[in-house]
Structure 1
Amino acid sequence: MLNSVPWKNLFDKIVVVSLPSSEKRRSYIKQHLPSVGIHSFEFFDATSMKDPAVALAYDQGEVATFPPCFRCGQIDCGEPDCNNFLIPQQVATFITYLRLWQWIVAGQVQRILVLEDDVRIHDHASDVLTWLGQEIFDGHVPFRAGSPCLVRLGWALSKDHSATDQYFINDTVKMSNPCHALTQEYAALLLERATGIIHTVDVYQHALAPNSGEAFTVFPPIASELSWTDGVFPSTIHPKPVHSTYLRSLGDTDGAVYNENLIRKHIKKKYFRSLLIVGHPRCGSGYAANLCQQMGLDIGHEKLGDDGISSWMFAVEADENPYALDDVARTRRALSWKYLVMPVRDLSTAAGSVIRDSTHAPPSYSFRREYILRLLGLDLDQLQTPLERAVMSVISWCKIILRQNPDFWFRIEDQHKQLQEFLVEHNLCDRAVREQILDTSPVKPNQLYEGVSYPKPAIDRAAWNNLPEATKREVSWYCDTFGYKLI
């Protein structure tokens, strides 16, 4: 069935950008568009954030990196809710539109209406488009074959949508991805002017890319969307509280709680700090933070300080760390840093502490086991004795960190002076710190577990001698690498 007037007169093709997995959105579109006179349209499959093209864009340096913020150019604007780095969902959306513009340029159609799959077409759309058609005919808007032109037709619901007593066109920039039209020539210019994924795609195509006389905004807008303002659909970029509100209005408490959990885990702002300190639990992360604090640096232990954070869990990128004293400490994905520092500890003294920790802090052991298995293929549960599990946990965790090329590592037993020198040389501390006498006593010699102190297990020579030969070779590697006496 043909589209009704004026849709068929203005647009040679209508496409709806949609993830193939968005079944509810697609079902909605199939009902909504025919109800407003759009019967002939096609879905353009969006790129998923898990598509290899997204990882490739990051790997090849095509995506703007943080710091600074891709929006304001600062390290931190002070807004806790600011989205200051391009997340995979945003990169995937940009790639989607690059593919769309390539498809338009390679095709035969000249005037394309682009909709997103949460679009809501308003009742006044037909009247506005009829008027727009006359404006185009009269030469006021160059929306025709052979001319680069973008027409912004719909954006987030606002008072603009209800101001239907007067129709007009200007060059006001509106983020009109939900509903916009472009010519084949403008799609070609979008591709030509793209210099990488330096911003969100809506800002690029509606604000950064067009030159004077190429982009036009129609008032009143003929469309809004159902995820950003109404919350009918969950956002595919940033989960939003408005969707929880919508679900609760329907009595769907479980759905609302699920969405709120997504919001809590969602990272859209990064923090930049000079130092990230990571090691194995009970092997000096708290001690290293304390040394830095003595030298005047605000390094938080399992919480963010002004100069950095020390957290053994930040050796890996987890969605949720088991121990965190603030929101940033929940996941390393919320942090960028300048220098990575790793404290290490003698296995002969660390093993008993780690055995005790693995026994009385199950979340710690489970977390380490999961990521050691995932990243190195070693299952700690398959090892025979608590000593072997403790030793291989420390060694494996250090290997995970070494893969990230730390800027500095130091033995906590005898290299605090080297840490002082590193911090001075890299302008993180004043030169006077070189002469500072530090308190090097243990920070938590009697670690409490849920308020209870447990004795550190004694490990005799026989236990070390009975380790499997493969494990002994790993112990030898560790001692050689970090300058410890072989056990």
Structure 2
Amino acid sequence: MREIGLDVGHEFLGENGTSNWHVATSLRNPSRVETIEGMTFDLRIHQVRHPLDAYESILRFIVPHSIFGWSLKCIFQDLGVNLRGINDSRELAFGYWLYWNLMVEQNIRPQVRFRVEEGHYALYQLLARYFHVTPPNRIVESHFNTGFREKTSQRSTAKVRHDATLAKTLDSAEEFKRISASLRYQIRVKSHAYGYAIP
């Protein structure tokens, strides 16, 4: 966003706004000094990702992180859903994807939804409509000359990671089949609303 002249801070408030997961919940983290209470924003964007692509990242990076307990507390506070007692890692990771997105919709009431698989150019186009800015030439050229796609599938990019601990990619589609029927149904419905399909 800074490439097009917008000062949007990552987990802090810039002159033009913030990209910040803390705003997704009504529960305020006491370790965060900055607050956005009482502030209004001209544009609220909900960034989403295909649940099958998000699954591995949630399982490997979010669940083990110290902040994960806080995230579950937020979901319970705002939605009344308790994920803490779930011992099955598949149910926990997919449930997290579902309920975190539901919490964002409830608390932020986004005007626009952006799918990360669409890449930077699509985001620039979206912002241009609201802020009358122009994407950098290198982004425009790479999009039209090479069919620019940044993250069409996290599952395919995960296969080329050099980190040996992540060398083996989970088959998220197979993992999805092993979660409860009710959770699968809810995720399919929400995925469809976001423009995603689950085979």
Choose the corresponding residue for 1:473, options 172, 175, 185: 185
In the superposition, relative to structure 1, how do residues 474 and 298 fare at CA in structure 2: closer, same or farther (>3 Å)? same
2:124 maps to: 420
Q: Relative to 1, partners in 2 of residues 1:318 and 1:483: Cα closer, same or farther, differing over 3 Å?
A: same
Instruction: Work out whether residues 51 and 94 of structure 2, in 8 Å CA contact, stay in contact via their aligned partners in 1.
Output: yes
Shift of 1:406: 0.5
| Distance in 2 of aligned mates of 1:398 and 1:366 | 17
Asked if 1:313 corresponds to 2:22, the answer is yes
SS at 1:485 equivalent: coil
Task: Say whether residues 1:375 and 2:78 are aligned partners.
Answer: yes
- 1:361 matched to 2:70? The reply is no
Cα deviation, 1:205-238, whole Å, max 9, x if unaligned, reads xxxxxxxxxxxxxxxxxxxxxxxxxxxxxxxxxx
CA pair 436-406 structure 1, distance change in 2 beyond 3 A = farther
Q: Choose from 105, 114, 135 the match for 1:433.
A: 135
Sequence identity (%): 20
The higher relative CO (CA closer than 8 Å, separation ≥ 6) is in 2
Does the residue aligned with 1:414 lie in a helix, a strand or coil?
helix
Structure 2 counterpart of 1:474, one-letter code: Q
- List gaps (5 residues or longer) in structure 2: 143-148, 152-156
Q: Which residue of 1 aligns with 2:9?
A: 300
Structure-2 change in CA distance of 1:358 and 1:298 (3 Å):
same
SS of alignment partner, residue 197 of structure 2: coil
- List alignment gaps of at least 5 residues for structure 1: 1-291, 447-451
- Let me know the Cα RMSD of the aligned residues: 3.0
Q: What pairs with 1:441-480 in structure 2 (closer than 5 Å)?
A: 441=150, 455=166, 458-460=169-171, 461-480=173-192
Q: What corresponds to 2:154 in structure 1? A: none
Letter in 2 for 1:300: G
Q: CA deviation at 1:308?
A: 1.0
Cα gap change, 1:456 to 1:479, in 2 (>3 Å): farther
2:98–2:187 CA contact under 8 A, matched in 1: yes
Structure with larger Rg: 1
Does residue 1:399 correspond to 2:109, yes or no?
no
Alignment CA distance shift 1:359-1:424 (3 Å): closer
After superposition, give the CA deviation of every residue in 1:292-344 in whole Å (9 maximum; x if it has no partner). Answer: 2222211111122111110112111333265x5xx42xx33264322111110
Distance in 1 between residues matched to 2:57 and 2:136, nearest whole Å: 31
- Relative to total residues, which structure has the larger strand share, 1 or 2? 1
Q: Give the AA of the match of 1:306.
A: E
Cα shift readout 1:397-440 (whole Å, capped 9, x = no counterpart): 111121232011111101644432332222x242x338661687
**1:486 pairs with 2:198:** yes
Q: Is contact 2:46-2:110 (8 Å) kept?
A: yes
**CA distance, structure 2, for counterparts of residue 457 and residue 407 of structure 1:** 38
Contact 1:316-1:332 within 8 A present in 2 as well: no
Cα deviation, 1:32-75, whole Å, max 9, x if unaligned, reads xxxxxxxxxxxxxxxxxxxxxxxxxxxxxxxxxxxxxxxxxxxx
The question of whether the paired residues in 2 share the 8 Å contact of 1:356 and 1:457 is answered with no
Q: Deviations over 1:221-258 (max 9, x none)?
A: xxxxxxxxxxxxxxxxxxxxxxxxxxxxxxxxxxxxxx
- Cα distance change on mapping 1:313 and 1:453 into 2, 3 Å: farther
Q: 1:368 deviation in Å?
A: 1.5
- Would the aligned equivalents of 2:47 and 2:115 in 1 still touch at CA under 8 Å? yes
